[in-house]
Amino acid sequence: MTVKKILTGRAYQMTITLRGIRPPIWRRVQVPGAVRLAALHEVIQTVFGWTDSHLHQFVVADRTYGQPDDLDEAVEDESGVTLAEALGTRNKRFLYAYDFGDNWEHDVVVENIVAGNSGTRPLCLGGKRHRPPEDCGGPPGYQNFLEAVRDPGHEEHVAMLEWVGGSFDAEAFDIAAVNRALTALPVTRRAAQ
């Protein structure tokens, strides 16, 4: 049995941290090694609460995975490779990029590879802080957004709050809601069958 085949049957515990934001916005997840990168994209979107409205890609060592098109031959199809296959035995860090305009880069660090029955479905183990609003302009735009919503005297205070639905708690994170959303993902239902 190959090492990649053995790793596919295990669960990967990873911390995913959004770059360029202080204090950090992060999530700790456990996902099956057999999950395809296309499904891992869904997991990351879910645990951060992103809306999957933009392009994305994974960069593992010197390889880029995503949704290839005829214009970008350097991008490998993420639906054809599992997490275990992409990482192999040496890679413990990789990048997940979302929304190439705002450039939300997520550092993904494999903390542990768990043996046994723990690899059946994605699970959020922890996290801190609410993710930035979509289309706010990346890390610098998020800083400006926070300044506006935290200061009632700021000229954009009312407009920014209206834009995000009336309120925004940068410290909010609901792990129970995230895990309910993960349970509803098709990848989770397939893994449980």
Q: How many domains does the chain have?
A: 2
Instruction: Please tell me whether residues 111 and 178 are part of one structural domain.
Output: yes
CATH code at 41? 3.10.290.30
Residue 91 token pair: 């890679």
* pLDDT of 125 strictly over 50: yes
Q: What are the pLDDT digits (tens) for 25-58?
A: 999 999 999 999 999 999 999 999 999 999 999 9
At 108 the three-state DSSP class reads strand
Q: Which residues in 110-140 are b (16+ Cβ under 10 Å) and which e?
A: eeebeeeeebebbbbeebebbbbbbebebbe
Instruction: Please tell me whether residues 31 and 45 are part of one structural domain.
Output: yes
pLDDT at 119: 55
Give pTM, 2 decimals. 0.90
Instruction: Please tell me whether residues 121 and 162 are part of one structural domain.
Output: no
Instruction: Please tell me whether residues 100 and 121 are part of one structural domain.
Output: yes
Instruction: Please tell me whether residues 145 and 187 are part of one structural domain.
Output: no
- Domain ranges, residue 94: 3-129+174-192
pLDDT at 1: 46
Q: Residue 21, Cβ neighbours under 10 Å: how many?
A: 19
**How do strand 93-98 and strand 104-114 relate by DSSP bridges?**
antiparallel
Instruction: Please tell me whether residues 86 and 105 are part of one structural domain.
Output: yes
